């Protein structure tokens, strides 16, 4: 899609007129007056006044307009946020633990109004980030178009880049504002729900230790802020504050470093990619820079066959890490301290000793050493004290080599447990000082959703999973991706997602909706097929999954019924949690009212199957019924594939022309055959005359059919039609007709020979089809052969 149309579709209606005037810039550039070769005659028409007018409009008028609007809007959003904070202050308890006494109705009314204002601010923050990005792209597009058209004598790209670096409209960080909104969202939700009967503490056994269902997704950088604002309306942001500052605006998302271990043979990587049972991994993890002396954890993770995991973790100081890895340090002082506090007997001390022994034996048995470092910025979402829903969003992900496999040029000093050049130099993303080949920057953000217990019933989570903002990436691993990208010559197997990393994962919302419908319809067909063998109504297609977007609550408090059959096309656009283990799904009983399918499809007859195999009937994908669109979604009118100029590969046109020439060849052969047969026939040989007319008819039919199909296929190609281009009628008519004519001609000649032999007369070839004239027979067979090739 051209940028002008993209800009038009991206405009936020209340801000119309505040975007870059891309049409005016193209008019000043006089794009349509310039040919593609940018000849000297074209440049001679472009004067200094034209160049000055374009540069003035681009660098001063348009950039100043966009920058002023962005700055003013950003300031207004901060002021509106501060106003909401001021309104909420009377509801918050004071330093002495007291709060202003307000009427409960007035209190709830105020909280509801503030919640609506927060929704409005959050929406505009997301739109402002899109506004900055699309305008930034517009300025670069305009400069690139100028240099391509007028680059022989004038160039403005460098000026545009310098000017953009001086303006903050595309580099402003909205994270502090997002954090403030998250805090207020959390407070307002508590205010609105404190007078309602609090939800009973569900007796979920082993709080904090139950198995989680984990879902991983990729997020395009253009959609990161929108995903953040979508989540923070339901979950607060966990703020990482290593210092003592109480100013929320100084809180930044933490930078996390994970240092992964493996053997020189990459045994742990191969086990992880092959999904071997009891596959394990080992990493060192810390937050921030090592100079700040953060807490460092050594973690071992074992994944079992049932996709559950077990972790062993100990906390270490930086000065003891090398000794611990070399099996020279065993946390003896910490163990003795625990035993002294409990009079020599401590469950914690025994557990710690067991963990230390397991970790050190795991390192020694597998000959593990640091191999890959993953550095990323994490934004975490979770309700404090409630870990049923945990969401993390990792951005600025970079994988860096930490190995010492190459003795001539090691990435890490073998005597050290980490790369000192990175940590001593306090390098941060994008790590520009690292040598080429030692770093790979992941192009997307990573979203991980962990759900426990009844958290699967949250409908907004299903909406996020099924939206166009994310792309599902099951089993994605930073460790596996880093090894596959950085040690390509050392490993012979790669993870399945590697080929999709460089693709554009952005999707149009309507396209995402149709893709989800097709996926659900296909699953429904499979479930009905399986249910037909099970018998009765116990088909999986009639189950109601609690917490999935398919269950809708009716006016009586129960889930409304739905039935998915091969004929049902009204399916919602939200994704069902298909990866939840069966034992984690809560199955609701079917609604009292029976559900009848729209229709039942009879099994196709044998003739129907034969006709389908010959492509004489429409394929199944052309017989899809029109789907019912949800509210707010309209039919696009013109498909994306039908927009823009028609570009057809040369081989497509040449194939159509080659087929037409084949038909002309058949027509010429049949014309020659009929002419020779007619000239060789006598005056009284009516049979030969009749056959000559038949061959002439087939010659004319071949020429007419070839021209008709050539025009039809050309029209379908120009229209980008999805219809089939093949047609069996013409080739079958020619083949069958020639075969019948040749058989009749042979029968007549054979009959004449028999009659002459009975009269004891020497055989004289009659002027039908001369037997000695092999050229005509050869022409007939060649014509039939060409028709069979086309068939």
Domain with 256 in it: 213-500
pLDDT of 632 strictly over 80: no
Q: Which residue has the higher pLDDT, 783 or 189?
A: 189
Contacts of 730 (CB under 8 A, 6+ apart): 663, 701, 702, 705, 706, 709, 790
Length of the chain: 791
Other CB atoms closer than 10 Å to residue 301's CB: what's the count?
15
- Token readout for 605 is 């007859």
Q: Is residue 680 part of a domain?
A: yes
Q: Is residue 317 part of a domain?
A: yes
- Give the pLDDT confidence of 348-382 residue by residue, as tens digits: 888 899 999 999 999 999 999 999 999 999 999 99
As for how many domains the chain has, the answer is 4
Of the candidates 193, 222, 246, which is a domain's last residue? 193
Other CB atoms closer than 10 Å to residue 767's CB: what's the count?
14
- Tell me, what CATH number does 130's domain have? 1.20.58
- Give the pLDDT confidence of 487-512 residue by residue, as tens digits: 988 887 778 787 678 888 888 887 77
Q: Is residue 97 part of a domain?
A: yes
Inter-residue contact 660 to 671 (CB < 8 Å): no
Do 769 and 786 sit in the same domain of this protein? yes
Do 483 and 521 sit in the same domain of this protein? no
Do 487 and 354 sit in the same domain of this protein? yes
Cα–Cα distance measured from residue 640 to residue 637, given in angstroms and rounded to the nearest whole number: 10
Inter-residue contact 454 to 584 (CB < 8 Å): no
Mean pLDDT of 199-213: 48
- Tell me, what CATH number does 468's domain have? 3.20.100.30
- Give the pLDDT confidence of 72-130 residue by residue, as tens digits: 999 999 899 888 888 888 777 654 555 556 677 888 888 888 888 888 998 888 888 88
The rounded mean pLDDT for the chain is 75
Other CB atoms closer than 10 Å to residue 710's CB: what's the count?
17
Do 20 and 140 sit in the same domain of this protein? yes
- As a whole-number percent, the residues of the chain with pLDDT over 70 amount to 71
Q: Is residue 622 part of a domain?
A: no
Do 689 and 565 sit in the same domain of this protein? no
Which residues does residue 448 pair with via DSSP β-bridges, in sequence order?
216, 392
Q: Is residue 661 part of a domain?
A: yes
Q: What is the pLDDT at residue 628?
A: 66
Alpha helices in 56-103 (DSSP H): 63-88
Do 729 and 583 sit in the same domain of this protein? no
Mean pLDDT of 461-479: 88
Q: Is residue 645 part of a domain?
A: no
Q: What is the pLDDT at residue 300?
A: 92
pLDDT of 603 strictly over 60: no
- Give the pLDDT confidence of 711-762 residue by residue, as tens digits: 888 888 877 676 777 778 888 888 888 888 888 878 877 887 887 787 765 5
State the DSSP code for 516: H
Do 490 and 516 sit in the same domain of this protein? no
Phi, psi for residue 395 in degrees, rounded to 5? -125, 170
- Check residue 38 and give left, alpha or beta (phi > 0: left; psi -120 to 50: alpha): left
Do 255 and 120 sit in the same domain of this protein? no
| pLDDT classification of 259: cutoffs 50, 70, 90 | very high
Do 181 and 151 sit in the same domain of this protein? yes
Do 317 and 460 sit in the same domain of this protein? yes
Q: At what angle do helices 650-680 and 729-758 cross, to 10 degrees?
A: 20
Do 428 and 541 sit in the same domain of this protein? no
Q: Is residue 742 part of a domain?
A: yes
DSSP-derived secondary structure for 96-156: TS------HHHHHHHHHHHHHHHHHHHHHHHHHHHHHHHHHHHHHHHHHHHHHHHTTT---
pLDDT of 405 strictly over 80: yes
Which residues does residue 300 pair with via DSSP β-bridges, in sequence order?
282, 312
Of the candidates 500, 527, 549, which is a domain's last residue? 500
- Give the pLDDT confidence of 239-255 residue by residue, as tens digits: 766 654 444 444 678 89
Do 163 and 254 sit in the same domain of this protein? no
Q: What is the pLDDT at residue 398?
A: 95
């Amino acid at each position: 899609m051209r940028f002008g149309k993209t800009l038009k579709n991206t405009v936020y209606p209340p801000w119309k007129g505040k975007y870059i005037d891309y049409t005016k810039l193209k008019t000043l550039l006089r794009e349509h007056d310039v040919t593609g070769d940018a000849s000297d005659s074209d440049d001679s028409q472009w004067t200094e006044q034209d160049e000055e007018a374009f540069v003035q409009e681009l660098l001063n008028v348009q950039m100043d307009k966009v920058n002023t609007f962005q700055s003013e809007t950003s300031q207004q959003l901060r002021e509106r946020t501060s106003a909401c904070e001021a309104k909420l202050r009377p509801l918050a308890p004071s330093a002495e633990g007291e709060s202003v006494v307000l009427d409960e109705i007035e209190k709830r009314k105020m909280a509801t109004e503030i919640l609506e204002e927060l929704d409005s601010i959050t929406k505009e923050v997301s739109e402002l980030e899109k506004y900055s990005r699309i305008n930034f792209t517009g300025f670069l597009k305009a400069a690139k178009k100028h240099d391509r058209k007028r680059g022989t004598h004038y160039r403005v790209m460098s000026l545009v880049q310098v000017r953009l670096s001086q303006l903050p409209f595309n580099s402003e960080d909205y994270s502090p504002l997002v954090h403030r909104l998250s805090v207020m969202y959390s407070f307002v939700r508590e205010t609105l729900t404190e007078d309602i009967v609090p939800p009973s503490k569900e007796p979920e056994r082993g709080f904090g230790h139950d198995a989680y269902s984990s879902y991983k997704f990729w997020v395009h950088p253009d959609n990161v802020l929108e995903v953040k604002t979508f989540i923070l309306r339901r979950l607060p942001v966990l703020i990482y504050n290593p210092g003592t500052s109480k100013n929320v605006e100084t809180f930044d998302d933490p930078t996390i470093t994970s240092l992964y271990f493996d053997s020189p043979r990459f045994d742990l990587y191969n086990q992880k990619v092959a999904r071997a049972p009891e596959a394990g991994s080992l990493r060192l993890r810390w937050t921030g820079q090592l100079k700040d002396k953060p807490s460092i954890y050594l973690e071992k993770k074992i994944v079992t066959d049932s996709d559950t995991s077990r972790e062993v973790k100990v906390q270490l100081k930086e000065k003891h890490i090398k000794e611990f890895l070399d099996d020279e340090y065993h946390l003896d002082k910490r163990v003795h301290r625990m035993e002294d506090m409990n009079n020599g007997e401590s469950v914690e001390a025994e557990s710690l000793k067991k963990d230390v022994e397991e970790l050190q034996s795991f390192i020694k048995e597998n000959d593990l050493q640091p191999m890959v470092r993953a550095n990323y910025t994490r934004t975490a979402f979770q309700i404090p004290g409630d870990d049923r829903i945990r969401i993390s969003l990792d951005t600025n992900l970079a994988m860096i080599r930490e190995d010492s496999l190459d003795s001539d040029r090691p990435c890490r000093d073998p005597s050290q447990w980490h790369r000192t050049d990175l940590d001593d130099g306090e390098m941060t993303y994008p790590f520009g000082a690292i040598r080429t080949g030692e770093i790979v920057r992941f192009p997307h953000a990573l979203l991980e959703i962990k759900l426990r217990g009844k958290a699967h019933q949250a409908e907004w989570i299903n909406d996020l999973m099924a939206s166009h903002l994310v792309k599902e990436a099951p089993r994605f691993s930073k460790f596996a991706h880093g090894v596959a990208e950085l040690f390509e010559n050392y490993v012979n197997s790669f993870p399945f997602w590697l080929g999709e990393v460089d693709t554009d994962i952005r999707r149009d919302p309507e396209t995402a909706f149709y893709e989800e419908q097709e996926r659900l319809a296909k699953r429904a067909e499979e479930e009905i097929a399986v249910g037909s063998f099970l018998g009765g109504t116990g088909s999986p297609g009639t189950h109601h999954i609690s917490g999935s977007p398919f269950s809708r609550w009716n006016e009586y408090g129960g889930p409304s019924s739905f039935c998915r059959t091969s004929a049902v096309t009204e399916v919602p656009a939200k994704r069902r949690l298909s990866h939840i283990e069966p034992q984690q799904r809560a199955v609701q009983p079917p609604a009292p009212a029976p559900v009848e399918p729209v229709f039942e499809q009879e099994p196709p007859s044998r003739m129907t199957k034969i006709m389908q195999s010959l492509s004489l009937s429409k394929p199944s994908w052309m017989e899809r019924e029109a789907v019912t669109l949800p509210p707010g979604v309209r039919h696009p009118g013109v498909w994306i594939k039908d927009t823009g100029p028609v570009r057809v590969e040369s081989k497509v046109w040449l194939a159509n022309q080659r087929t037409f020439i084949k038909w002309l060849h058949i027509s010429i052969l049949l014309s020659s055959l009929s002419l020779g047969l007619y000239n060789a026939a006598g005056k009284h040989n009516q049979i030969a005359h009749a056959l000559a007319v038949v061959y002439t008819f087939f010659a004319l039919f071949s020429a007419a059919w070839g021209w008709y199909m050539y025009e039809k296929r050309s029209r379908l190609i120009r229209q980008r039609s999805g219809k089939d281009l093949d047609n069996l009628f013409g080739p079958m008519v020619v083949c069958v007709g020639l075969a019948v004519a040749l058989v009749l001609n042979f029968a007549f000649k054979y009959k004449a020979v028999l009659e002459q032999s009975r009269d004891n007369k020497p055989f004289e070839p009659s002027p039908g089809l001369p037997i000695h004239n092999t050229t005509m027979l050869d022409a007939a067979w060649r014509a039939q052969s060409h028709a069979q090739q086309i068939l």
